[in-house]
């Protein structure tokens, strides 16, 4: 019985020491929530020339807010922060050619302009995301390849925005 008491006491002391000496790590989403709040709303300026991409990016932003920020999407009037997004036209740059001179790898680039509006602050961010993808030689880009490239490059631009907001939150 005495051995059990000693083991229990050493276990309790070990747990207390670990809790008191922990490193203080906080995930970046916690810092971002301190800046943005727990309730967010989003809107996007729809591109007249490419409305499908605008909708795709809006869906990506909303998914990122839920998964990265662990925040709730609400109507603008109930939000702690509103994010208004404006998307540049995607650009495609040839990265690699095959031996016959045909393009086999592209880089898609998206630039997001994000206006963050809180009750007492308006701040604009510009982020860029890229995505590299392969195509078959002498082929035209399909809509699916184009949509995937835009989606993944937009997610990278959103990740860059999260990093900037998290850095602001760590200074608070």
Strands, E, within the chain: which ranges? Answer: 39-45, 72-73, 81-87, 91-97, 103-118, 121-134
The residue among 158, 150, 140, 169 whose CA lies nearest residue 110 is 150
Task: Name all domains of the chain by residue range, CATH numbers in brackets.
Answer: 27-170 (3.30.160.150)
> Using one digit for the tens of pLDDT, what is the confidence trace for 159-171?
888 888 888 877 6
Does the pTM exceed 0.85? Answer: no
Per-residue model confidence (pLDDT) at position 7: 67
Q: What is the pLDDT of residues 53-65, one digit of tens each?
A: 777 777 777 777 7
């Amino acid at each position: 019985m005495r051995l059990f008491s000693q083991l229990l006491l050493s276990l309790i002391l070990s747990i207390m020491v670990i809790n008191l000496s922990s490193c203080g790590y906080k995930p970046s989403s916690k810092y971002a929530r301190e800046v943005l709040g727990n309730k967010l709303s989003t809107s996007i300026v729809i591109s007249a020339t490419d409305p499908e991409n605008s909708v795709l990016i809006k869906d990506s932003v909303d998914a990122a807010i839920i998964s990265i920020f662990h925040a709730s999407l609400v109507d603008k009037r109930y939000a702690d922060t509103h994010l208004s997004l404006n998307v540049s036209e995607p650009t495609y740059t040839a990265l690699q050619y095959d031996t016959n001179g045909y393009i086999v790898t592209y880089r898609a680039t998206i630039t997001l302009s994000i206006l963050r509006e809180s009750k007492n602050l308006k701040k604009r961010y510009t982020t860029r995301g890229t995505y590299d993808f392969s195509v078959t030689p002498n082929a035209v880009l399909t809509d699916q390849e184009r949509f995937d490239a835009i989606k993944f490059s937009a997610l990278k631009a959103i990740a860059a925005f999260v990093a900037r907001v998290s850095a602001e939150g760590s200074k608070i």
